[in-house]
């Protein structure tokens, strides 16, 4: 049996096949206005090189709509020590392409960032928490991105706890919007869906392609649009409300907003849970309670 949907499915498959012939990285850095010297910062605490691209849609929009400086914090450089230097070089090029600053946590990144290491080696863990707390104090971010607590991958979950512990150590020296991200494991309760345009998605795919060693193993940069489309399906109900009419987005990422007030962490609700491309991400900062 043949229906129009069979032809449509074939075209989807054909696009992925076509993508396999496209170049990986090596693209010229686009000319963009530099952020102001005193621009507020958004820090991405990336479990691995490439996470800055995969979950970075909201960071791109913060950069382009709110004039924020995006700083990618390379928490690890992967677990394969033979690849750590190479992955750092790929990461530098990806960040340069997207206009992100880059901060290393250590010469080859931190290692053993897992919930198990947190429980079994508390002294070693405290030293790593101190590294992240020092970065938070130095950078003074207006917003931070980090994985949610059930993002399946062991290092993603470890980075969640690492950042949470570092906020507690930094205490009232840091106050910021917190943006929890998902990739390997979906959140049950995201409260923000951020629309991405084809231009945003193209930038994220091209940025991911700079991670040549990884996408040669698994060409996930080509499947990024499908994941972003599925987020619209999920987010229309999870964020917009069960049984509601989903927004007319083609691509989106899902997040969970919170706030670190210097003493504790609390979830906060954005004024608009379905943030279309026509609404500035700068409005999300208005959800942060004012310091008394």
| Mean pLDDT for the stretch of residues 190-216 | 98
List, for residues 150-160, the tens digit of each pLDDT value: 999 999 999 99
Band of pLDDT at residue 291, cut at 50, 70 and 90 = low
Q: pTM to 2 decimals?
A: 0.96
Of all residues in the chain, what percent carry a pLDDT higher than 70? 99
CA distance 43 to 143: 6
Residues with Cβ within 8 Å of 59's Cβ and at least 6 positions away in sequence, in order, are: 42, 44, 52, 70, 100, 145
Helices (H) and strands (E) in the chain, counts: 10, 9
List, for residues 240-289, the tens digit of each pLDDT value: 999 988 899 999 999 999 999 999 999 999 999 999 999 999 999 987 77
Burial (CB count <10 Å: 0-12, 13-18, 19+), residue 136: buried
Residue 232 tokens read as 């619209």
CA distance 160 to 44: 12
Contact 22, 34 (CB under 8 A): no
What is the β-pairing status of strands 69-74 and 101-104? parallel
283 CA to centre of own chain: 19
The per-residue DSSP string of 92-134 comes to HHHHHHHT-EEEESSTTB----SHHHHHH-HHHHHHHHHHHHH
Residue 148 three-state SS: coil
CA distance 65 to 40: 12
Band of pLDDT at residue 230, cut at 50, 70 and 90 = very high
Residue 118 three-state SS: helix
The per-residue DSSP string of 141-178 comes to -SEEEEE-TT-SSHHHHHHHHHHHHHHHHHGGG--EEE
- The DSSP code for 278 is T
Question: At the top level of CATH, which class does the domain 39-275 belong to?
Answer: alpha beta
- The DSSP code for 31 is P
| Mean pLDDT for the stretch of residues 104-113 | 98
126 CA to centre of own chain: 24
Of all residues in the chain, what percent carry a pLDDT higher than 90? 95
Residue 163: count other Cβ atoms within 10 Å of its Cβ. 25
């Amino acid at each position: 049996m043949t229906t129009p949907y069979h032809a449509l499915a074939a075209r989807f498959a054909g696009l992925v096949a076509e993508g396999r012939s496209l170049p990986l990285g090596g693209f010229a850095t686009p000319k963009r206005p530099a952020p102001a010297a005193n621009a507020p910062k958004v820090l991405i605490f990336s479990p691995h090189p490439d996470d800055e691209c995969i979950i970075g849609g909201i960071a791109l929009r913060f950069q382009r709509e709110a004039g924020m400086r995006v700083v990618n914090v390379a928490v690890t450089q992967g677990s394969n020590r033979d690849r750590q230097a190479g992955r750092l070089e790929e990461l530098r090029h990806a960040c340069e392409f997207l206009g992100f600053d880059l901060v290393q946590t250590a010469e080859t990144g931190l290692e053993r960032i897992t919930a198990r290491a947190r429980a079994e080696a508390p002294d070693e863990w405290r030293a790593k928490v101190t590294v992240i707390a020092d970065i938070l104090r130095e950078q003074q971010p207006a917003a931070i991105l980090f994985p949610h607590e059930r993002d399946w991958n062991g290092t993603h979950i470890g980075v969640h706890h690492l950042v949470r512990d570092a906020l507690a150590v930094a205490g009232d020296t840091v106050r910021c919007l917190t943006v929890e991200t998902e990739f390997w494991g979906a959140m049950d309760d995201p409260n923000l869906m951020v629309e991405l345009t084809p231009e945003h998605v193209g930038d994220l795919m091209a940025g991911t392609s700079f991670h040549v060693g990884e996408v040669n193993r698994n060409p996930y940069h080509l499947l990024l649009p499908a994941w972003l489309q599925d987020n619209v399906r999920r987010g229309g109900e999870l964020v917009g409300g069960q049984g509601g009419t989903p927004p007319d987005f083609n691509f989106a990422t899902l997040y969970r907003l919170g706030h670190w007030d210097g003493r504790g962490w609390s979830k906060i609700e954005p004024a608009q849970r379905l943030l279309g491309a026509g609404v500035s991400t700068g409005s999300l900062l208005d959800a942060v309670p004012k310091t008394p």
